[in-house]
Amino acid sequence: MPAAYPTRDDLAAFFEGQGLAMPSDVGEMEIAGAVRLFEEKTGYVPFLAEETAQDYFYSPPEYGNTLELRAGFVEVEEVAVGLTDADQTGTVLTVLQDYSLAPYNASQASKPYTRIEFSTGFRGGARSIRVKGKKGYSSQVPSDVWNAILRAAAAESLPAMVAGEGMPTEIRQGEVTLKFDEWKSSKAGMWTTQFQRTANVYMRVAI
C-alpha cells in the first residue's frame, strides 16, 4: 500500500497517460479537496492515521459498557477513567483486564478500532475518559483509496482544461470521436462514480 496520498506529480502523470498536459496552476488544491471529501464521506477524519498518539476525551456511555469512539484508531496506547478538573490523570486501566478494543480482529483485518468495551460499568462526568492513541483508518493508504482520490482530483481538475489552450479539440476513443468538452464530462462522471463506490466501501457506521 502507498505510504501517502497522491501528489501533484502523480496527477500530472495520470493526465499524461490520458494524452493531456496538466496546467501548472492545477493539482494541489484538487488533491487536498478530494482527501477532505473522502474523509467526510467515510466518516474517518483523519483517514490516514496520525503519526503520533494524541489524547482524546469522552464521556462515559449512558447505557451498557461499550464506548463508541466515533472514529477509527489504528493504535490505542492508554485508557484512563475518572478524570476530573482536579485530576487530569485519572485511573489508568489495563487492557484485556479492564477493557478490550473492538472489533477484536481489527488489526488482523487491517481495519481500525472503533469502540472500547469495558469489563464493568462505571460513572463519571463529561470528558472523564481519556483515550491516548493514533486516530485514523490506516497507517498507509489502501491502493483502491489512493486511486479513488487521484480520480476525484482529476475530475475536479478537468474544468481548468480548456480546448484550444494546449488541449485537443477532439479526442478519439476507439471508433468514436468526442468533442473535448464531451470527453471531459464523460470522464468526470466515470471518475466521480469510482470515487463514490470506493468511499462507500470504507464508510463508517455512525452511532
Question: Comparing 56 with 122, which gets the higher pLDDT?
Answer: 56
The pLDDT tens digits for 155-187 are 999 888 754 455 666 666 666 676 777 777 888
Cα dihedral 71/134/194/33 (nearest 10) = 90
pTM attached to this predicted model: 0.87
Q: What percent of the chain has pLDDT over 70?
A: 90
- Neighbouring residues of 162: CB distance < 8 A, sequence distance ≥ 6: none
- For residue 52, what are the CA distances in angstroms to 15, 77, 132, 135? 35, 11, 10, 9
Q: Taking a C-beta distance cutoff of 8 angstroms, is the pair 196, 40 a contact?
A: no
Q: For the chain, what are the domain ranges?
A: 8-45+140-201, 54-135
The pLDDT tens digits for 29-58 are 999 999 999 999 999 999 999 999 999 999
Relative to beta strand 129-135, strand 176-179 is: unpaired
The pLDDT tens digits for 91-112 are 999 999 999 999 999 988 899 9
Grid coordinates given for 100? 478490550
